[in-house]
Amino acid sequence: MATKKPTTTISNQPDLSVFAQVEVKPSLITQALHVYRENSHRGVSKTKTRGEINATKKKVYKQKGTGNARHGAKSAPIFVGGGVVFGPTGLKSAPKSLNQKMKVKALAGILSLYQKENRLSLVSATEIKETSTKSAQKALGRDEAAFVFFSEKPGLLKAVSNLENIIILSARRLNVYSVASSPKIFLTTSAYEHLITRLKLI
């Protein structure tokens, strides 16, 4: 009688240690954060120069004989209410940019940093019942964090969106700045798989 060969099972469980294997220079992450911050500013702040101040152009007092320093009009920057020197002009500078390769490496680098600091966690969609805020709170806790999804059902996202301490991010649009803005990151299984493909970690 022939004996059956033992079957081997292959585990398909996500392994977050794949992020920890990525080595990226801190300077690249810093550069990416600078670019995202600069581009998020509207750049509409403006101050008036001395030529734009609506005030009399008359000389404050005569040039000589007063014992005081020489001054012109009160629109000079030295006076309260005068113009501002080298202030913002209201003209936004050209947007800064990163090429696609740099964006991918920077995102992989900051996720690697979060993994090493135990700030990156996996959460199974089965742990959260659809439209159940209580189950979402139990799975994600009460600390401030970001919930990164990819193809989860609207009912599950509705349950998570009711939590004041959690912000919801799409894995498709995840970037260095959104990760750095969150003390902790929760990845769903589908988000993990998408990021692995997007960042070419396997």
Each residue of 143-197: pLDDT tens digit? 999 999 998 888 889 999 999 999 999 999 999 999 999 999 999 999 999 999 9
- C-alpha span between 83 and 79 (Å, rounded): 8
Q: What CATH number is associated with residue 167?
A: 3.40.1370.10
Q: Note the pLDDT of residue 90.
A: 82
Evaluate whether residue 112 is within a structural domain. yes
Q: Note the pLDDT of residue 39.
A: 85
Q: Which of 157, 188, 158 is nearest to 174 (CA)?
A: 188
Q: pTM, whole model, 2 decimals?
A: 0.72
- C-alpha span between 112 and 47 (Å, rounded): 43
Evaluate whether residue 48 is within a structural domain. no
Name the residue with higher pLDDT: 103 or 9. 103
Percent of the chain with pLDDT over 70: 93
For residue 137, what are the domain limits? 98-198
Evaluate whether residue 122 is within a structural domain. yes
Each residue of 70-103: pLDDT tens digit? 999 999 999 999 999 999 888 877 788 889 999 9
Query: Dihedral sign, CA of 24, 28, 30, 33?
Result: negative
Query: What are the contacts of 32-38 at 24+ separation with CB within 8 A?
Result: 32/98, 32/102, 32/103, 32/106, 32/107, 32/175, 32/176, 32/177, 33/176, 33/177, 33/180, 34/96, 35/96, 35/97, 35/98, 36/175, 36/176, 36/177, 37/177, 38/95, 38/96
**Average pLDDT along the chain:** 86
Evaluate whether residue 4 is within a structural domain. no
Evaluate whether residue 126 is within a structural domain. yes
- C-alpha span between 116 and 112 (Å, rounded): 6
Name the residue with higher pLDDT: 1 or 78. 78
Evaluate whether residue 8 is within a structural domain. no
Evaluate whether residue 45 is within a structural domain. no
Report how many domains make up the chain.
1
Q: Note the pLDDT of residue 202.
A: 63
